[in-house]
Amino acid sequence: MSEIHYGRGYVYSIQYHLVWCVKYRHDVLYGDVDMDVKALLKQIADDNHINIIEMESRKDHIHLHIECNPQHYIPSIVKAFKGVSARLLFKKHPELKQQLWGGHLWNPSYFVATVSNNTEKQIRAYIQSQKKK
């Protein structure tokens, strides 16, 4: 169940399910790269005061269930997650540039859906099931 948060002059409970893919749907999110991308996304979230409730990846895409405040703008959140993680992953794993010609880690598009009390349990279970597939 999502928590109610209090800000200056507002009360909120905002959660999103985000999904984006590796460029060309290449299978690169495994082993050290998978662990590193998750650590980077957690750090980016912490730096931007975003709470990651659930996170899981498949070899070619990543799912996040996040909670944020009303001042966060979804395109800016996605840009931070994708841009910073790509730059730092390429720096740490230069071999990715050979697999992903053109120097782009992530596909430019993404999926976003709001999460409600009615859907939160389903979304969390779905994200957790990604590694099992």
CA distance 76 to 123: 22
> Is 126 tagged catalytic?
yes
CA distance 17 to 123: 8
Give me 42's structure tokens: 């957690």
Q: Which of 10, 16, 110, 126 is catalytic?
A: 126
* CA-only gyration radius of the chain, Å: 15
Placement of tokens 């992530």 in the chain: 106
Beta strands in the chain, from DSSP E residues, in sequence order? 5-7, 10-12, 14-21, 51-57, 61-68, 111-114
Placement of tokens 């596909």 in the chain: 107
Residues linked to residue 112 through DSSP beta bridges, in sequence order: 18
Active site residues: 126
